[in-house]
């Protein structure tokens, strides 16, 4: 079992930009086609912006056409937590960092093979770590 990281909003605000705080800690969403990594094609790992937990490999990233970084599977299923999201008059599956509960985005069942899943994430909730040369 992963040890949880808990911080107050004031502590998170000193560690994150206002956009990162709004998205990751307050369940916000960045505008489509505006995030730093939605069209990133470099090799590497996408980590949680709050706690650094590895979440997605670039090898599972694909162009979904939505304007947000999309992946067909996480680095490890235990690194993400899923919760039912009933906001905005719909029912969706929210994706959270399993270690610090940062809001990452949502997962949908309209992705490519082999999983058929689309983890639609916010760039502001991810920190890209390029593959070492």
Does the residue 47 lie in any domain?
yes
- Given a cut of 80, is residue 120 above it in pLDDT? yes
**Number of domains making up the chain:** 1
Percent of the chain with pLDDT over 90: 90
Which residues are designated catalytic?
120
Q: What is the CATH number of the domain that holds 26?
A: 2.170.150.20
In a domain, 55, yes or no: yes
**pTM assigned to the model:** 0.94
Does the residue 3 lie in any domain? no
User: Does residue 6 register a pLDDT over 80?
Assistant: yes
* pLDDT of the residue at 27: 95
Sequence-distant (≥ 6) Cβ neighbours of residue 113 within 8 angstroms: none
Query: Does residue 2 lie within any of the structural domains?
Result: no
> Has residue 33 been placed in a domain?
yes
4 lies in a domain?
no
pLDDT one-digit tens code per residue, 86-98: 887 789 999 999 9
Give 121's contacts (C-beta < 8 A, 6+ positions apart): 46, 55, 56, 68, 69, 70, 71, 95, 104, 105
Does residue 10 register a pLDDT over 80? yes
Domain assignment present for 1:
no
Q: Which whole number is the average pLDDT over 5-21? A: 97
For residue 79, the enclosing domain spans: 9-130
Is residue 23 a part of any domain in this protein? yes
Q: Among residues of the chain, what percentage have pLDDT more than 70?
A: 99
């Amino acid at each position: 079992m992963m040890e949880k990281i808990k911080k107050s909003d004031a502590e998170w605000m000193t560690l994150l930009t206002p956009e990162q705080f709004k998205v990751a800690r307050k369940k916000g969403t960045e505008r489509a086609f505006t995030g730093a990594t939605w069209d990133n094609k470099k090799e590497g790992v996408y980590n949680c912006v709050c706690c650094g937990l590895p979440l997605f490999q670039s090898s599972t990233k694909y162009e979904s056409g939505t304007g947000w970084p999309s992946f067909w599977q996480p680095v490890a299923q235990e690194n993400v937590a899923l919760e039912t999201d009933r906001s905005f008059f719909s029912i969706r599956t929210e994706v959270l960092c399993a270690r610090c509960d940062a809001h990452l985005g949502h997962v949908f069942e309209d992705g490519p093979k082999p999983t058929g899943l689309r983890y639609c994430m916010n760039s502001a909730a991810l920190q890209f770590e390029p593959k070492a040369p």
